[in-house]
A = this chain, B = another copy of it.
Amino acid sequence: MFIRTPADLGAAIRDRRKSLGLSQSELAKRVGVGRQWLVAVEHGKPGAELALVLRVLDAINMPLMTGAPPPAAIGASDINLDAIIASARGDAS
């Protein structure tokens, strides 16, 4: 999943939290933040602090990655390796 806005990230976090069977309170305590803060972040709070967000992602085991922009293609083909890998590993997300 691609993250372009705080809301995107919030949705991703929520999905993952639920799929892990955690409540907001639990995750908040585990990460060391206020429950209310987590609520706001899952709703796409734009002013959330970077470090805390990264701590959440780490707590729910959600790797965040960045790379060069999609150079359109590697050779000349249009195969989307990311998509292939993603589905292959069963990222139902």
Contact = CB atoms under 8 A, between A and B. Distances in A.
A3 interface: yes
17 contacts: A3-B65, A5-B54, A6-B50, A9-B66, A12-B66, A45-B50, A49-B49, A50-B53, A57-B66, A61-B69, A63-B67, A63-B69, A63-B70, A70-B89, A71-B89, A74-B88, A81-B85
B47 A48 contact: no
What class of interface size applies to chain A in its complex with B?
35 or more
Interface in A1-26: 1-6, 9, 12
A3 B69 CA distance: 16
A66 to B, nearest CB: 5
